[in-house]
Amino acid sequence: MSTDIQAAPQKALTIRDRLESPRFAAELAKALPKHLTPDRQIRVAVTAITRTPKLAECDQASFFGALLTLSQFGLEPDGRRAHLIPFENRKRGCVECQLIIDWKGLAELAMRSGLVANLHADVVRDGDLFDYSAGKITRHVPHFIRRDAGKPAEAGEIFAVYAIAEFRDGSTKADVMSIDEVNAIRARSRSGGSGPWATDYNEMAKKTVFRRLSKWLPLSPEFRDAVTADDEADPIGEALNVTPKTVAPIFAKPAAKVAAPESDPEPVEPAPEPAPPAPEPQVPPAEVHPSEQLAEIVTAAGYSFDQFHAWTLDNGYAALKAATSFADVPAQLAKRFIGSKAGLLAALAKAKEAAK
């Protein structure tokens, strides 16, 4: 007598299952620098999931992409140097993991470059003594250590935030932002109402001004990649173009003179003005996800996802190892490829020639 035995369906692996697997530990070891171990990075990531359970529901490609990107920089998602924030992508119908690198994480990378001797950032409140002129900060005395008023001044509202970088040769560079400028950056951030913006506002404000200061600093490619990978709104790159579409010419030809009539003309009844046409309804453009933009760029140039994927693996993009389509490319990484479109297509062409 024969008995049919039906195999039990395999359980789908969760983020935590994959995170604690030996295979992922081996992949992590390839990305981490020497001062971090895979076991520690995994423990910190598990703690982040415990602290924010919504992370366990994230799209797995975005979660592991963010974690591997962070590992390449030698930073931990410990809620101090960097944060993993769940973000609901309604267009894709899933929860994505957003990587946010804190001010302390960026400062750590900047100090590793060996070009910077000291970094400092702080908020400025009503009641502080603060002097800033011509790009130089000459004094900042916080309200609680003032000696001129006989007693410490009461803490006031934050009205500015600044960052200073001191280089090995003794020169310095500083930048200051008003609190209105900082809040404008926060308003453009996808996580402006949650995550570190809600729990650690002062630290995010410091990071915002330091990001702007970093545009002027001769820092390492590693630091530049970290700033690009960080998915926060760029205070300079996202500036609006306010140039009017049509500009009146500066030197216009004088209007031709019209001879006055010899006698007054007969009055003419003016024709009624036609009614203005009804305005056409404005339809807001649909938001295009960065991975979709990347797919359009690559396929329009005649390359398939497999060719793109093979090139990324050959060039050390470990975060894309498990990707099976352009939709699996994390948003922050897709933005990097889009920003260097010409270089990306040139590299794909070179790889195609080499494969022949």
Measuring CA to CA, which residue among 62, 48, 163 is closest to residue 103? Answer: 163
Number of Cβ within 10 Å of residue 171's Cβ equals 9
pTM: 0.49
Residue 228 pLDDT: 63
Burial of 344: CB neighbours in 10 Å, binned 0-12, 13-18, 19+: buried
pLDDT of 345 > 70? The answer is: yes
Residue 164 pLDDT: 92
Residue 221 pLDDT: 62
Distances from the Cα of 29 to the Cαs of 226, 312, 314, in angstroms? 19, 18, 17
Q: Reduce the DSSP state of residue 148 to 3 states and report it.
A: coil
pLDDT of 77 > 50? The answer is: yes
Tokens of 216: 């002027």
Summarised one tens digit per residue, pLDDT across range 125-155 is 988 889 998 888 989 988 877 666 555 556 7
Mean pLDDT of 10-29: 85
Label residue 63 by pLDDT band (50, 70, 90): very high
Residue 235 pLDDT: 35
Sign of CA dihedral 148, 149, 154, 160: negative
Does residue 224 or residue 67 have the better pLDDT?
67
Residue 220 pLDDT: 61
Summarised one tens digit per residue, pLDDT across range 36-48 is 888 998 999 999 9
Q: Which residues of 18-46 are buried (b: 16+ CB within 10 A; e: fewer)?
A: ebeeeebeebbeebbeeebebeebbebbe
Summarised one tens digit per residue, pLDDT across range 263-291 is 444 444 555 555 555 554 444 444 567 78
pLDDT of 76 > 70? The answer is: yes
Strand duo 82-89 + 129-133: pairing:
unpaired
pLDDT of 180 > 50? The answer is: yes
Segments making up each domain of the chain, as ranges: 15-101, 104-219, 290-355
* HSE-CB for 131 with a 13 A CA cutoff: 3
